A and B are shown apart, each in its own frame.
Chain A
Amino acid sequence: MKPLASSDPLSAYRLAAEPYYRPTGGEIALYEHAYAHRMPLILKGPTGCGKTRFVEAMAWRLGRPLVTLACNEDMTASDLVGRYLLDAAGTAWHDGPLTLAVRHGGICYLDEVVEARQDTTVVIHPLTDARRILPLDKKGEIVHAHPDFQLVVSYNPGYQSSAKDMKPSTRQRFAALEFDYPQAAVEAEIVAHEAQIDTALAQTLVGIAQRSRALKHHGLDEGISTRMLIYAGVLIRDGVAPRDSCDMTMTRALTDDPDMATALRGFVDAAFA
């Protein structure tokens, strides 16, 4: 197959502006070392703690386009590598997002990779060892990965059932970085920046989140995430009363259990004068 006419087939996947990312440890340096060797990476961590933002920040830093795919159970290998479609002249092959990234040197990010079925994820095996190739069996082509290509996947070890996990053979091909919600002060800084609210309010919101996180495993699958705090902050900045904002973005969003909701509302109510 001829290369596409466009000078940069991945231009749509380039980030337009630098994403805000507040490092919480040595993760940027570690990622850069991994990227230097094009080592495939797993990003682990609870939902809304900044995994996706981190990959975006790294893609920007490294000047690479970022091809993001949200995985789901119905996703097939063709959704990743591409498929034949009919056109006026007959059948024509259309590269899938993974193939695009492999061919043209992007960072391919499979978000929530365990949501995809295990037989789908095995297509990444030849890409993630020393071969770095992507066989397109339907097309009869072997795509050698562009030197800049890297594969990054994320997953949340917290709430998935043991039935949904990565195959050991898939898992062992990756190095892993583990994320968690940042320290209170750092998290407040992030919330204040992202929601554009003052630090005192951000600290109050972080306090609520920390109390909710203490209830993880006691009835909550996940505590209040940094992302939820930013939502709450944004609504408060817009003039919504703090309790209403927290009720909408945290309590109601997080649980249906009336007892748990009462406890969460208690944390919110206690935090605001």
Chain B
Amino acid sequence: MNLPAATGAPPWIGLLLSGFAGRGLRAQALASGAHAPRPILTDDHLLMPMAMLDDDAAQGARAAVAHAAAHLKYSTPHSPTAGLRPMTVAVVSAFEDARVERLAMAELPGLRRWWAPFHVDAPADGDLSFGAFVARLGRVLFDPQLREGNHWVEKGRELFERQAAADLLDRDVFRRIASVLANDLGQMRVRFEPQQYRVEPTYRDDNSYLWTHAERVDVPPPDEQVLDAMPQLAAPKLSEAHASPDGEPQPEEIELGRYLVPEWDYRIERHRRDWCTVVETLPLAPPSATTSAVALPPQLPRAASERLNRARRLRRQFEGDEIDLDAAIEVMVDRRLGLVPDARLFRRPGREAPLTSLLVLLDLSESANNPVAGDGRPVLALEQEAALQLAQTVRGPSTRVAVHGFNSNTRGHVGYQRLLDFGASFDAGAAGRVSAARARHSTRIGAALRHAVDMLAHEPSTQHTLLVVTDGAPSDIDVFDPHYLVEDARAAVQEAKRRGVQVHCVTLDPAGERDARRIFGWRRYRVVTNTIALAAHLRLVQARAMVA
């Protein structure tokens, strides 16, 4: 299975963390209103403050990942805090941070460069708060060359270094030393205020990973935590609010059938069986659609797409697997006659384009009525042009094309319009249906994808390709988790791959790139915002569609 969604965090962070940890972990964005938030590490997630991810250089994120990985490798998680004062817990945690970083740097010396820039700011000299003491200690433990005038800090440094020289792996000894230090602080009348205290520097997590509080109830799973905290991040793009998901077919179309398809719920990592109802319709060509009304876009040059076919034998070739007997006899005859023989005396297998079925799936949701950023025309117009251009270009003896459209109005009604079917003649009626398609409702892409793959699977061709033309993020009015439909669509694409269907995507909105990449995968999508780029990309898809 692929790594689960790194929602809100760039994918490389999750990859870096998984590589360091040696197992699959997720990185997520943590949008909390707290002042100076710190990353949070759990057994299989690293939640990072948005501010850290916004940083272009990503130095903070990189440092946080390395620190979290050090905990995962060297720390014992979830120790009970029973019997420990909060101040002791904080000092033990600070010692543990220093210890695991020391261990990690011994293994990966480059990490010192990752962390060092965050250890530059020393607390003000007169600052005698608990946080300042721990921050000073943290600095000298990170960089043993540093000297601090403070007695307590020097004591901590000395005890730490002595044990570090003996055995860095014995965490219990460090814990005892830290307890002694915490005790000293208590005797120095330093007050510990949990609400004020922040782990320093910023890349270090809040150390909640290390402890279990006896009274603590199980924390809610990170997904919910994050989602509760960040509803403003990516609220689902709602199409117009349809109060009644009535599911009544529109009068201008004929309902062909209703199908139940599953949906993938990434939070439970299960398919919900028979979850969505796909309503398949055949739109009736509008009366205005005559040949003259639909201006067909120019045909694209066909891409070369032939493959070896042993059923075709080419005779009289310059090279090949076997001798062409007729040619060989002529060569011998020519030789005896003293003529120059023809060198073309081999046979070899020919090449032929494989039989391909290409289904173009158009996103007919409300947002397709928005103008394209770089073009000014509605997205829908570009989608229709793409579909017509592709259908016109690739239709041929070896390629079957269909153009279908989809939109959704809750899971109870995923509209699926068969604008042009496989094998149907591409006439004015079909072109008119494509051109007259209207955009409305929402984008439940996964359900439509599954249904389209089912249709493709019945095609007799050797190559099956699905091209989704969309304007961006999937959404529906009954889904509030922005990642839910993305993950469902991603699962649908993976299922399609397993069934031998290649899925490509053209997205007409640059803002939808992130979701498109998540759903379709690297190199399987292209962001296109004008007609010229569209033609070039369609040609590429056509070429890809015809090679395995």
Binding site for B on A (CB under 8 A): 73-74, 76, 78-79, 83-86, 90-91, 119, 138, 163, 207, 210-212, 214-215, 217-219, 256-260, 262-264, 266-267, 269-273
Interchain CB contact (< 8 A) of B114 among A73, A86, A214, A270 = A270
User: A161: shortest Cβ distance to chain B, in Å?
Assistant: 8
Q: CB of B50 within 8 A of chain A?
A: no
Q: A76-B321, A218-B24 are in contact. List 17 more A-B contacts (CB 8 A).
A: A76-B349, A78-B321, A78-B322, A163-B500, A163-B548, A207-B108, A210-B22, A212-B19, A215-B19, A219-B15, A259-B15, A260-B12, A266-B62, A269-B110, A273-B109, A273-B110, A273-B112
A191 to B109, CA, bound (A): 20
With CB as the reference atom, state the residue of chain A lying closest to B58.
A262
Quick one: given A83-B322, A273-B109, are A266 and B345 in contact (CB under 8 Å)?
Answer: no
In the complex, are the beta carbons of A259 and B323 less than 8 A apart?
A: no
**Residues of B contacting A218 in the complex (Cβ-Cβ under 8 angstroms):** 2-3, 15, 18, 24
Q: CB of B168 within 8 A of chain A?
A: no
- Per-residue contact bits, chain B 19-35, to A (CB 8 Å; 1 contact, 0 not): 11111100000000000
Quick one: given A273-B109, A273-B112, are A267 and B323 in contact (CB under 8 Å)?
Answer: no
User: A197: shortest Cβ distance to chain B, in Å?
Assistant: 17
A45 to B22, CA, bound (A): 20
**Residues of A contacting B23 in the complex (Cβ-Cβ under 8 angstroms):** 214
Q: CB of B332 within 8 A of chain A?
A: yes
Q: CB of B103 within 8 A of chain A?
A: no
User: A242: shortest Cβ distance to chain B, in Å?
Assistant: 10
Q: CB of B111 within 8 A of chain A?
A: yes
In the complex, are the beta carbons of A91 and B323 less than 8 A apart?
A: yes
In the complex, are the beta carbons of A260 and B15 less than 8 A apart?
A: yes
In the complex, are the beta carbons of A86 and B328 less than 8 A apart?
A: yes
A270 to B62, CA, bound (A): 10
**Residues of B contacting A212 in the complex (Cβ-Cβ under 8 angstroms):** 19
> Which chain B residues in 347-398 approach chain A with CB under 8 Å?
349
> Which chain B residues in 50-86 approach chain A with CB under 8 Å?
62, 65-66
A263 to B3, CA, bound (A): 14
Quick one: given A73-B308, A270-B111, are A214 and B18 in contact (CB under 8 Å)?
Answer: yes
Interchain CB contact (< 8 A) of A214 among B22, B308, B323, B331 = B22
Quick one: given A271-B110, A273-B112, are A90 and B332 in contact (CB under 8 Å)?
Answer: yes
A236 to B220, CA, bound (A): 49
In the complex, are the beta carbons of B11 and A259 less than 8 A apart?
A: yes
For chain B, give the interface size range: 35 or more
**Residues of B contacting A272 in the complex (Cβ-Cβ under 8 angstroms):** 109-110
A270 to B65, CA, bound (A): 11
Interface centre among A83, A119, A214, A273 (most CB of B within 10 A): A214
**Residues of B contacting A86 in the complex (Cβ-Cβ under 8 angstroms):** 323, 328, 331, 345
A212 to B20, CA, bound (A): 9
Q: CB of B1 within 8 A of chain A?
A: yes
- Per-residue contact bits, chain B 105-135, to A (CB 8 Å; 1 contact, 0 not): 0011111111000000000000000000000
User: A155: shortest Cβ distance to chain B, in Å?
Assistant: 18
**Residues of A contacting B62 in the complex (Cβ-Cβ under 8 angstroms):** 266
24 contacts between A and B (CB under 8 A): A73-B308, A78-B322, A79-B321, A84-B323, A91-B328, A138-B322, A207-B107, A211-B19, A212-B19, A218-B15, A218-B24, A219-B15, A259-B10, A263-B16, A264-B19, A266-B16, A266-B19, A266-B65, A267-B16, A269-B113, A270-B111, A273-B110, A273-B112, A273-B113
